[in-house]
Amino acid sequence: MTDNSVPNTNESLIKEAGIVMTVVALVYFFSVPRQPLFGDGLEFLCAAAVGGIPHPTGYPLFMLLLGPFSGSYFSGSLLCAFFGVIAAGCASIMIGRLLAPSLELFPQTLRSVI
């Protein structure tokens, strides 16, 4: 027998992660640099275009994924933004799962105070 008053935490976590990912995607899209800035961005794009290695560590998976996007700085930046959006969604789900037990106890604690 299940209690219908408690919402399904998996569904709510996925909805919350979707909201977080949408907000982060909008922020990234409107703030991603369209022209080269300082740092390793140009080095990574040049290395991806010729199939090279930018640093001793090389970032092999990132360089393979960046290859088709090495045509412009903006498209390479969008790939980085995509990974940031995915990371924000995963972090949202993990934080939600860590806090779920304490959030379920919160209404009971509030009822005992009142």
Residue 24's pLDDT is what?
A: 95
Residue 40 token pair: 């390793």
Query: CA 110 to CA 6: how far, in whole Å?
Result: 16
Per residue in 76-94, pLDDT tens?
A: 889 999 999 999 999 999 9
pLDDT of residue 37: 82
Sign of CA dihedral 46, 81, 90, 40: positive
Q: Does 41 map to a domain? A: yes
The one-digit pLDDT tens for each residue of the chain (114 residues) are: 455 444 556 788 889 899 999 999 999 999 988 888 877 888 888 888 888 888 888 788 888 898 888 888 888 889 999 999 999 999 999 988 888 777 666 666 655 655
* Domain-located, residue 47: yes
Asked if residue 62 belongs to a domain, the reply is yes
For residue 89, give every residue at least 6 positions away whose Cβ sits within 8 Å of its Cβ, in sequence order, or none.
17, 18, 20, 21, 24
* Number of folded domains that form the chain: 1
In a domain, 84, yes or no: yes
Q: Domain of residue 40: give its range.
A: 10-113
Q: Measured between alpha carbons, how far is 5 from 80 in angstroms, rounded to an integer?
A: 41
Q: What is the pLDDT of residue 1?
A: 45
Q: Check residue 21 and give its pLDDT.
A: 94
Residue 1 lies in a domain: no
Encoded amino acid at 4, one letter: N
Q: Is residue 23 part of a domain?
A: yes
Q: Would residue 5 count as lying in a domain?
A: no
pLDDT of the residue at 110: 57
Tell me whether residue 35 is in a domain. Answer: yes
